[in-house]
Amino acid sequence: MVKNSSKNVVTDLVKNQVVKNQVVKNQVPENQIPGNRIIKNRDKSLQTSVIEVMEILEKYRQCIILNITKLREDYCRQTVKRFIGYRGKDGNLIEPWLKTKPIDNSDYVDMGKFVINHNTATINILLEQRVHLIKAEDEAITLEVAGLLLNDLKTFNNYTIVKDGQVNVRSLQVKISSKKLFDLLQKKGVLEKDDLPATTFDFHSEYTINLGGLPIVPLKQKKRKIDGLFQRLAEIKVISSIISACLKNNLDTFVPEQLTELQKNYISPNLYLNFPKTKSFEVLDIRNSQRIDIGSKEILNLFKLHSANKFLERRYQVYNTETGEVLNKPTFDILFEKNIACRQKYLSSRMKITKVDDFMKPIFDDFIGIEDNGKTIAILSKVGAKDLMRLLQKRNQGKSIDKQEMLVAMKKVQTQLKDYAEKIYRDKISPLVLHVGSTGVLPKGMRTAALTASELATKYPDLQFSSAEKEGIFFEVGESIISIYNKDEYYPIKHVEV
């Protein structure tokens, strides 16, 4: 059952407030985001922010354990509940023949990793538990599958600490094994015991880390520069997409019989648990979730980029060199096959070439080997991908390369690219998103007039807007564009057990 009680705050305020004459007359502060609250008259003693507490807990995560039972009891779910299993024809839930059971029968788990969303003011904590895979019928433990010991299986669960700039989990119950960490949290004024400030370190005691009332980000923000970040992230995304497409169906770690057995036991080829899941029958509502993206004056955000296989089909022909047959719906993984080659596709008059094409095509031309323009090597050098760089240079010299050696190098680079992009988000982008989403203002040094989509499109006609983005507002900061717009999302309006 779905209700729709949402109101598009950004749309209403864009129509009524963020228009050119109002900005000129200073009726709307230049750096204020419509729909958000401005933090005023906050107690100056509250210097510690939620993000600072998260950084401390992650740095000392080996010295702290979290009461997961208490977290689950008090947790307010922000997403639609998904159950393990699938629906039968009658709509009833059919559970798998296997299930998991925690190895450690404890209320506590190791402190998890904090993950900041890339384009919403949201912070999650990722908690993991070591588990046995057991039969649902008699709880017999499954010790081995497909010739592999199942001694390192884990479940992974995300809990939303901050959602759209608002604290969702107001406190965490923990035990601390480090006096240094205790002193640090005590100094920050966030540690309590029995509803009073904690004064004495006791590694047997349970403490409360209080997040309620804290600002999400530090009130004093460092000046941030974002020019050039979109270019770097876009390059990384394009190369990452190409490499992922190349690796699909090409990593022969297991024989088909092993893959069948892994699938039967709900284990992925990467050896993670992979149970079927289905949505619960809940009463749902639709609300606006604010998206905050960065882009350029030619490409509004990373979502405009095509996937590797889609762009391959859009701009290239993959064909058999012996028969001349052009393959329908080609994918990157078949480029490793014998007698398969790639050439540029003839452009029809119906195809509209965009700035996304202009950005992606030189990278594709270089990676595929159509034009040695140095784009791929320049991108890979940023992450230290020496093995793949060497192999691509060898190929460009007309030398033969070993397929498996290339795939192994790509697998390694896949992780390097992900880590490189994540560091940019963690250090540069996510703090900006959290600041805007939680305070309603741009950081100092980014003050500029708000623009509507039509105003921005007039200045930069190459930009393309989705229907949601057309209702948003935009800020031109140096050579970058910051976009703020709403997207609908479902959420349960009744408390649901985790």
Average pLDDT rounded to a whole number, residues 184-188: 95
For residue range 58-78, what is the model confidence (pLDDT) as tens digits? 999 999 999 999 999 989 887
pTM of the model: 0.84
Helix (H) or strand (E) holding 209: strand 207-210
pLDDT > 70: what percent of the chain?
88
Position 41 confidence tier, pLDDT thresholds 50, 70, 90: very low
Q: What's the chain's average pLDDT?
A: 86
For residue range 399-440, what is the model confidence (pLDDT) as tens digits? 888 888 999 999 999 999 999 999 999 999 999 999 999 988
Locate 293 and state its tokens.
């993206």
Confidence (pLDDT) at 31: 45
For residue range 284-337, what is the model confidence (pLDDT) as tens digits? 677 788 999 999 999 999 999 999 999 999 999 999 999 999 999 999 988 888
Position 201 confidence tier, pLDDT thresholds 50, 70, 90: very high
For residue range 119-140, what is the model confidence (pLDDT) as tens digits? 999 999 999 999 999 999 999 9
| DSSP code per residue over 297-345 | SS---GGGSPPHHHHHHHHEEEEETTT-PBPSS--GGGGGSTTEEEEEP
Position 25 confidence tier, pLDDT thresholds 50, 70, 90: very low
Which of 22-36, 85-99, 285-299, 318-332 is least confident?
A: 22-36
Bridge partners, 24 (sequence order)? none
Confidence (pLDDT) at 7: 38
Average pLDDT rounded to a whole number, residues 348-364: 94
- pLDDT tops 80 at residue 223: no
- pLDDT tops 50 at residue 8: no
> In whole angstroms, what is the distance from residue 119 CA to residue 484 CA?
9
- The sign of the dihedral angle between the CA atoms of 490, 493, 497, 498 is positive
Average pLDDT rounded to a whole number, residues 90-101: 91
- The sign of the dihedral angle between the CA atoms of 290, 293, 298, 303 is negative
Confidence (pLDDT) at 40: 38
> In whole angstroms, what is the distance from residue 314 CA to residue 316 CA?
6
- pLDDT tops 90 at residue 494: no
Confidence (pLDDT) at 396: 84
DSSP 271: S
Q: Which residue has the tokens 């939620």?
A: 50
Query: Can you give the residue ranges of every domain in the chain?
Result: 48-218
Locate 104 and state its tokens.
């450690």
- Size of the chain in residues: 498
**Residues 422-460: b if buried by 16+ CB within 10 A, e if exposed:** eebbeebbbbbbbbbbbbbbbbeebeebbbbbebbbeee
